[in-house]
Structure 1
Amino acid sequence: MKINQVIPILRIFDEAKAFEFYLDWLGFTVDWTHRFEEGTPLYMQISQAGMTLHLSEHHGDSTPGIKVFLACEGLAEFHAELIAKKYKYNRPGLETAFWNALTMEVNDPFGNKLLFSEALPTA
């Protein structure tokens, strides 16, 4: 067996807040959306820079409060872009983790966490 991609499903409760956080602030784009009919919960796929997430308003698809670990490159530059946007609900810092990586953790409006981690060069 070969796994081609892992796509976390994050529970959301408010479409407008999800769009403000994931699209306007973090810079994701919507790949597709789905509803069974008007007035039913939203399920959608968003992506950015090789990262894909599913966001779901459906009860049972996921539990709020999960943490997703995202191995990345260019974290300091991404951090600077986010800080420049002056998003009033989140101003993350950069930290050096014990596993020799630069990290940044952001919390979405629904209690989910995204932990961005960039490996630092070894001495």
Structure 2
Amino acid sequence: MELATAIPVFKISSERLAREHYIDCLGFTIDWIYQQRNHPVYLQIRKDKLVLHLTEHEGDAEPGAVVMVHVSGIDQFYLELRTRLPAGKLVIVSHTEASTTLQIADPFGNQLRLTENKLS
């Protein structure tokens, strides 16, 4: 057996708010959307190599998940985001010569924790 790449599933309660946050603000794109008439939405979004699933379906996920993502170019991304995100939604968790970690909270309580090892 060989394990493949994991795809985190974030619980959302509003497709509109999810689009505003992930697409408009963070720059993700939508790969696909699954929704039958008058049913909750399930969609796949992507930014570079990071793929996330967002779901309104009950029982698929619980709000408040945290996903750790290794990145490069974190300082420039932080400068871009600090003007687009509301206060408290973008937090520098740690910043040293060796690494920087940012935490981005979505409107549903989920968090992306972005970290860059600067010594590699």
Q: Is the 8 A contact 2:93 2:103 kept in 1?
A: no
Q: Is the 8 A contact 1:83 1:91 kept in 2?
A: no
Q: Is the 8 A contact 1:69 1:116 kept in 2?
A: yes
> How far off is 1:89 after superposition?
5.6
Gaps of 5+ in 1: none
Q: Distance in 2 between matches of 1:91 and 1:39?
A: 31
2:114 corresponding residue in structure 1: 116
1:11 corresponding residue in structure 2: 11
Secondary structure in 2 matching 1:94: strand
> How far off is 1:96 after superposition?
2.8
| Change over 3 Å in CA distance of 1:30–1:113 after alignment to 2 | same
Identity of aligned residues (%): 34
Q: Structure 1: which amino acid aligns with 2:9?
A: I
> How far off is 1:94 after superposition?
3.1
| Change over 3 Å in CA distance of 1:15–1:90 after alignment to 2 | farther
Q: Is the 8 A contact 1:69 1:115 kept in 2?
A: yes
TM-score (normalised: structure 1)? 0.87
1:32 corresponding residue in structure 2: 32
TM-score (normalised: structure 2)? 0.89
Secondary structure in 1 matching 2:82: helix
- Within a 5 Å distance, the mapping from 1:72-83 to structure 2 comes to 72-83=71-82
Q: Distance in 1 between matches of 2:77 and 2:23?
A: 14
Q: Is the 8 A contact 2:42 2:54 kept in 1?
A: yes
Aligned residues: 119
Q: Structure 1: which amino acid aligns with 2:48?
A: A
Gaps of 5+ in 2: none
| Change over 3 Å in CA distance of 1:75–1:90 after alignment to 2 | same
Q: Distance in 2 between matches of 1:109 and 1:60?
A: 19
> How far off is 1:49 after superposition?
1.3
Q: Distance in 1 between matches of 2:89 and 2:112?
A: 13
Q: Provide the alpha-carbon RMSD of the alignment.
A: 1.9
